[in-house]
Copies of this chain bind each other. A is one copy, B any other.
Amino acid sequence: MNLTLPAADDFHVHLRNDDRTPTAVAAVRAGGVARALVMPNTQPPIRDAAEAKRYRGALHSQGADFTILSTIKLTADTSPEQIRTAAHQGILAGKLYPQGVTTHSEDGVRDFMQMYEIFEAMQAEDLVLSVHGEVPGAFVMDAEAAFLDVLAKITSDFPKLRIVLEHITTRRAVEAVNRFDHHVAATITDHHLALTLDDVVGSRIQPHHFCMPVAKTPGDRRALIEAVRSGKPSFFSGTDSAPHKKADKEAAQGCAGIFSSPYHLPILATLFKQHDLLPRLEAFTSQFGAEFYRLLRNRQRVCLVAEPQVVPPMVGKMVPFWAGKPLDYRLIWE
């Protein structure tokens, strides 16, 4: 059965700002995405509204033919004035990286209490706090769960601050998001619905399945699938798609990040079909996130044609997620 639905919003994507960017931006639209919230951890980072504007220009000049939703990176140097300007100039979120937890987070934040003046300004301006929820230095399987205490403290101290806990991976994170009120939501990636740690370091080590936060246990993966099935608007789609070249993944110290953009909606539809979740696809990919970010729903439409295809081994210099795997659908823009 073919599926026609609104084009997707991807509320978490990395497009970088270098020779990988043309492939990354082409992949966004190829994957069925009409609007993408673009992460600011480029090198150098996007720290304020002016830099975000320049970055949007750079992305469009490199082929981006979708709506770019902008974020800025919060660091120890961010000022309340930058927050106010960002909110007034249409920036949707400030992204917080704990120090050292993922790619380009060396300038991340170590002590969240230092950011309280910024959180205050974000709450006042209703700018969303987007957060990579892992505690630096915690054991990799426990780092997200450990962050939930930090999150509880922030939500308690800033009850009206809207927060997105990005790319959640654990049952405990699902439970926490369910406990918090509607000010706290979470994105879920395609790959965390598909993978467990067994797919990363089972009998082989598979760098193209490696991202931060790392995929967790089968029970954690089930909890993510059940969060989608619940139909609660606190859970919506963000791919965390990140273009790392093959040679930077298949290396002694391989990069964290999975390139899922090019086949995003066909992958998600294939997964949702497996788990009898297809009735949830539209809200997960194009409604709940828009509502949380207070955007009108996008009006472009795509068709997922029920024709099998196989994910190719390479997209540009990147190995796409699920390379070599069969998908149940092809995507056509209407």
The interface of chain A, by Cβ under 8 A from chain B, is 100-103, 139-141, 196-198, 200-208, 210, 212, 214, 217-218, 249-256, 319, 323
Contact = CB atoms under 8 A, between A and B. Distances in A.
Given A139-B218, A251-B250, A252-B250, A210 B203 contact: no
Nearest to A324: B252
Nearest to A206: B253
A254 B204 contact: yes
Given A197-B139, A198-B140, A252 B100 contact: no
Contacts of A252: 206-208, 250, 319, 323
A285 B260 CA distance: 48
Contacts of A253: 204-206
Nearest to A256: B203
5 contacts: A100-B203, A139-B198, A205-B253, A205-B254, A205-B255
A197 B140 contact: yes
A254 B145 CA distance: 29
A218 B323 CA distance: 34
Contacts of A139: 196-198, 217-218
Q: Which of A140, A200, A201, A206 has the most CB of B within 10 A?
A: A201
B217 A255 contact: no
Contacts of A102: 203
Q: Which of A100, A101, A253 has the most CB of B within 10 A?
A: A253
Nearest to A214: B201
Contacts of A323: 252
A116 to B, nearest CB: 26
Given A139-B197, A250-B250, A212 B203 contact: yes
A181 to B, nearest CB: 32
B201 A255 contact: no
Nearest to A246: B252
Contacts of A201: 140, 197, 200-201, 210, 214
Given A139-B217, A217-B141, A101 B203 contact: yes
Nearest to A201: B214
Q: Which of A100, A205, A212, A250 has the most CB of B within 10 A?
A: A205
Contacts of A196: 139
